[in-house]
């Protein structure tokens, strides 16, 4: 595909049953019904700088990690966490229309591995359903779980964000990662879903098919290991026009023959960011 081209594919949206939702149990069967909707997804290659955290809600940046073994959680925490904290400070300080952050806390990470053909997933696999990891209501619980006694005072600050920093561990040849232009998905298309982990309950967000106008979707074709994608999970700002959440998902590249391409392996690192002004 030529840089800046488009892929015609389908995206799995929430198929609203119109009844109260039972909690989605992590590790259990997928309880929420999905419906595949034909969708056009645009490649950002060559136009990465046109997408920013405070306009569309996401931003691509180049960064080469010094991690040598992505299977070693301790090395990831020792090497990649400081890398990503430093990069997060840099990206946020350079983002127009954002105040300078006062604190950046790296919380956790997750590695997703696409299953090999004819094999089940070995650990978390790419998620094909459109979602946001946390709802606005769940953000305080995230802070309390990961920041402990500091959370109460930090949450009193004028503004906070949960930001994910996502990169492939090897170049993407299958199951690309798509993000939406947050402005194109109205709150009326969101569905808040209770989620149950073994040790806590929380709330995530699923997305109905477009009801007003088409949702706008983007990805980076053949995304490389130094292509880091920043995107918002939560932004507490109430300013008009500020993107507060970015629905996202994996999708099937219809230009790739079935069974071709290496299974996707990726890491996302999550940060909680606080500001002294909105």
Spatial strand order in the sheet of 58-62: 58-62, 227-235, 159-168, 265-275, 101-113
The answer to whether residue 180 sits within a structural domain is yes
Query: What pLDDT does 16 receive?
Result: 82
The answer to whether residue 103 sits within a structural domain is yes
pTM tops 0.85: yes
The answer to whether residue 262 sits within a structural domain is yes
Query: What pLDDT does 198 receive?
Result: 80
The token pair that represents 1 in the structure block: 């595909």
Question: Rounded to whole angstroms, how far apart are CA atoms 66 and 83?
Answer: 8
DSSP strand pairing (201-207 vs 217-219) = unpaired
Number of domains forming the structure of the chain: 1
DSSP state of 59: E
Note whether 117 and 261 are within 8 A (CB).
Answer: no
Question: Rounded to whole angstroms, how far apart are CA atoms 199 and 216?
Answer: 36
The answer to whether residue 24 sits within a structural domain is no
Domain that holds residue 87: 6-16+30-275
The answer to whether residue 45 sits within a structural domain is yes
Query: What pLDDT does 1 receive?
Result: 66
The answer to whether residue 23 sits within a structural domain is no
Note whether 235 and 244 are within 8 A (CB).
Answer: yes
Mean pLDDT by 10 residues, the chain (278 residues): 85 82 56 88 97 98 98 97 99 95 98 69 78 95 95 97 98 96 97 84 92 95 98 97 97 78 94 97
Question: Rounded to whole angstroms, how far apart are CA atoms 189 and 16?
Answer: 10
Question: Rounded to whole angstroms, how far apart are CA atoms 272 and 107?
Answer: 7
For the CA atoms of 115, 121, 123, 128, the dihedral, rounded to the nearest 10 degrees, stands at: 80
Spatial strand order in the sheet of 131-132: 6-14, 34-43, 217-219, 177-180, 248-250, 131-132, 201-207, 190-196, 24-25
Encode pLDDT of 227-254 as tens digits: 999 999 999 999 999 999 999 999 998 8
Encode pLDDT of 39-85 as tens digits: 999 999 999 999 999 999 999 999 999 999 999 999 999 999 999 99
Region class of 210: left (phi > 0), else alpha (psi between -120 and 50), else beta: beta
Query: What pLDDT does 121 receive?
Result: 44
The answer to whether residue 21 sits within a structural domain is no
The answer to whether residue 113 sits within a structural domain is yes
Q: Which residues contact 147 (CB under 8 A, 6 or more apart)?
A: 105, 107, 154, 272
201: CATH: 2.60.120
Query: What pLDDT does 25 receive?
Result: 57
């Amino acid at each position: 595909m030529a840089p800046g081209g488009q892929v015609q594919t389908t995206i799995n949206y929430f198929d609203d049953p119109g009844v109260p939702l039972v909690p989605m149990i992590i590790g259990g069967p997928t309880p929420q019904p999905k419906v595949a909707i034909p969708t056009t997804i645009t490649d950002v290659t060559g136009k990465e700088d046109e997408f920013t955290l405070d306009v569309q809600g996401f931003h691509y940046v180049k960064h080469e990690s010094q991690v040598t073994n992505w299977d070693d959680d301790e090395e990831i925490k020792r090497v990649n966490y400081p890398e990503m904290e430093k990069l997060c400070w840099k990206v946020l300080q350079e983002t127009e229309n954002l105040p300078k952050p006062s604190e950046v806390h790296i919380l956790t990470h997750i590695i997703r591995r696409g299953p090999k053909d004819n094999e089940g997933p070995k650990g978390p696999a790419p998620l094909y359903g459109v979602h946001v990891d946390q709802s606005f209501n769940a953000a305080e619980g995230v802070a309390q779980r990961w920041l402990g006694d500091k959370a109460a005072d930090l949450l009193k600050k004028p503004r906070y964000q949960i930001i994910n920093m996502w990169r492939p561990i090897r170049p993407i040849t299958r199951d690309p990662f798509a993000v939406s232009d947050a402005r194109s998905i109205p709150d009326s298309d969101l569905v808040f879903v209770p989620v149950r982990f073994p040790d806590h309950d929380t709330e995530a967000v699923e997305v109905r098919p477009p009801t007003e106008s088409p949702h706008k979707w983007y990805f980076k074709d053949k995304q490389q290991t130094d292509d880091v994608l920043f995107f918002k999970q939560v932004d507490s700002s109430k300013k008009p026009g500020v993107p507060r959440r970015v629905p996202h998902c994996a999708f099937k590249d219809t230009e790739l023959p079935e069974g071709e391409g290496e299974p996707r392996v990726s890491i996302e690192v999550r940060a909680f960011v606080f500001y002294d002004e909105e």
